[in-house]
């Protein structure tokens, strides 16, 4: 096989791409993509061809041009039940009042998404001591058509939950 200086090649059983720097009778000196030189016998070198690809067509793409990434987590409705996210001032509320407000907002959120016929929602409740999460789980356990799963939201623990809604069974909470 004839090689020329400056040609892009690969080496059998090696990863990466190489450029021929010098050619001798039985070996070639090549430079890898990191700038290191090495001598390789000519029998282990193969020519490479660039891969030419056409336009990638996404099947079932909608007319708005949204990407696949948008169809992931961005499309799942979510609510942050941290008290600071619900109200600006928290000095005048007791812990009991805060919990009741969080549960009230959760009910409103679930009922709105049930009316919109959403089948999955994300609820960010925080890691904390788990009081809010256990109250939400109890509320959903009493209602048919709702299933609550942990979602990995925080590196410190599970601070969010996915709630799956079975539209045919679920009733407003």
Supply the pLDDT for residue 48: 85
Supply the pLDDT for residue 3: 87
Supply the pLDDT for residue 21: 94
Residues lower than pLDDT 50 in the chain:
66-70, 156
Contact 27, 40 (CB under 8 A): yes
| 47: nearest Cα among 76, 103, 6 | 6
Helices and strands, number each (H, E), in the chain: 3, 9
Can you give the pTM of this predicted structure?
Answer: 0.55
List all residues 6 or more positions away from 131 whose beta carbon is below 8 Å from its beta carbon: 99
Supply the pLDDT for residue 70: 47
């Amino acid at each position: 096989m004839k090689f020329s200086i400056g040609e892009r090649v690969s080496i059998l059983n090696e990863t990466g791409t190489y450029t021929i720097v010098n050619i001798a009778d039985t070996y070639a000196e090549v430079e890898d993509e990191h700038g290191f030189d090495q001598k390789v016998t000519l029998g282990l070198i193969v020519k490479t061809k660039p891969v030419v690809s056409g336009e990638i067509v996404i099947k079932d793409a909608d007319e708005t041009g949204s990407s696949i990434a948008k169809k992931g987590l961005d499309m799942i409705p979510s609510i942050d039940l941290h008290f600071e996210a619900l109200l600006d001032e928290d000095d005048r509320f007791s812990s009991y009042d805060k919990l009741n407000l969080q549960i009230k907002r959760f009910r409103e959120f679930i009922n709105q998404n049930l009316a919109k016929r959403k089948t999955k929602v994300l609820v960010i409740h925080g890691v904390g001591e788990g009081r809010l999460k256990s109250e939400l789980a109890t509320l959903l356990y009493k209602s048919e058509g709702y299933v609550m799963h942990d979602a990995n939201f925080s590196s410190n623990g599970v601070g969010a939950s996915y709630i799956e809604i079975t539209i045919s069974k679920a009733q407003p909470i």
